[in-house]
Amino acid sequence: MREYRDYLARAAGMAHRQPNVLPPKGKEGGTMKAMVLDKISSVEARPLKLVELPRPIPGRGQILVRVSACGVCHTELDEIEGRVSPSRFPMILGHEIVGKVDGLGSGAGKFRRGDRVGIAWINWACGRCSFCLKGEENLCDTSKWTGKDVHGGYAQYTIVSEDFAYPIPERFSDVKAAPLLCAGVIGYRALRLSGMEDGEVLGLYGFGASAHIAIQVAKYKYSRSKVFVFTRPHQTEHQDLARRLRADWIGATSDTPPEKLDCAIDFTPVGEPVREALRNLQKGGRVVINAIRKMTPVPELDYTDHLWYEKEVKSVANVTRRDAQEFLPLAAEIPIVPETQEFKLEDANEALVLLKQGRMRGAGVLKITE
């Protein structure tokens, strides 16, 4: 109870302050390299610029993190292209951050210098609104999101409230841990929201960073279930990866699978698979849409073919700290083996172009410091 009161008190204090503001140039703390976004742009224009900035200074209850790896997420494409605009510019994107604690703000005592921590998409929540009080901080009215409202991990350093950082299980290297923090956590949340039970058939539409982790969770938790994977026909690398991760059937998005799907998760950035998943869905089944934005509209649905028989559609919005706290130990227990492609910080634009083209094998990760 005391911990919760402290949390509320801290949250109230933070609400009045812009968290993670960079100090004025030249003021204490040294500098850091960062890739920053100045304005909405096309990803093909390689809009992230490598700059030298002052290192941020942790405020009350915050920790300074020396970033060793940061995952590249589809949400960055949405931010760059303006479907989910950063709340200010310039902004340092990136919300799958792994690094070591390098400094403590006043009152911060959960971690020690040198501890390895992870930072995810949820950067701060008010702790007081009706959603937060129900444990649905992912829906908080005044929440802040890493790399959107607050500078993220495409940089050598970042800061975060210690309440929104997580210990990283030892089993994972920095690079392998990075995609667990969004792709992994949100895939885990989507799987939970799908209501899947052992023995049921799961359909996965799209097979990128998140789906290739979700299949490993599903195979571990539901050993009697079949998992069917749908990709675009030219995505042979995604299909090979699905085969290696024991998918029971692999087809194209428009294919009809050998059995009806009891539940399906749509990981794609486009609208069409929502209708396809509903078409292939068993009576009483549920389609969960794991996307912050769609690049094309969901096509018109026919009530009889797509919705009747108590079929459900549900979206996944963001993650809670609880999702991360539950998922990270589970990922170590399974153990999840993330497929990663490494890039240097200054090659972030190239990684994003590859991701947009659907050519990233597994998860892209920027390797920032040793």
Interface residues toward Zn ion, by CB under 5 A: 73, 75, 125-126, 129, 132, 140, 182
CA-nearest of 338, 366, 314, 94 to 211 is 338
The CA distances from residue 183 to 73, 186, 291, 297, 352, in Å, are 7, 6, 11, 23, 15
Q: Judged by CB, which is closer to Zn ion: 73, or 215?
A: 73
> Do residues 286 and 313 lie in contact, with contact meaning Cβ atoms separated by under 8 Å?
yes
Question: Looking at the chain, how many residues does it have?
Answer: 370
Cβ of residue 73: shortest distance to Zn ion, in angstroms?
A: 3
Q: How far apart are CA 75 and CA 341, in angstroms?
A: 18
- For residue 44, the SS3 value is helix
Per DSSP, what are the bridge partners of residue 264? 203, 287
Comparing CB distances to Zn ion, the nearer of 126 and 264 is 126
When the beta carbons of 14 and 132 are compared against Zn ion, the nearer one is 132
Q: Are 331 and 98 in contact (CB under 8 A)?
A: no
Cβ proximity to Zn ion: between 153 and 257 the closer is: 153
Considering the complex, state which of residue 119 and residue 126 has its C-beta at the smaller distance from Zn ion.
Answer: 126
For residue 235, the minimal CB distance to Zn ion (Å) is: 20
Beta strands in the chain (DSSP E): 31-36, 49-54, 62-72, 97-104, 116-119, 122-124, 144-145, 157-161, 166-167, 201-205, 226-231, 249-252, 261-266, 281-289, 312-315, 340-344, 363-367
Minimum CB separation of residue 52 from Zn ion in Å reads 26
Nearest approach, Cβ of 71 to Zn ion (angstroms)? 7
| Residue closer to Zn ion (CB basis): 294 or 306 | 294
Minimum Å distance from CB 191 to Zn ion?
16
Burial class of residue 31, CB neighbours in 10 A (0-12, 13-18, 19+): middle
- Tokens representing residue 317 in the block: 């919005």
Least distance between Zn ion and beta carbon 132 (Å): 3
Q: How far is the CB of 310 from Zn ion (least distance, A)?
A: 31
| Shortest CB 139 distance to Zn ion, Å | 8
Toward Zn ion, which CB reaches closer, 68 or 290?
290
DSSP 178: G
Instruction: Output 119 or 140, the one with its CB closest to Zn ion.
Output: 140
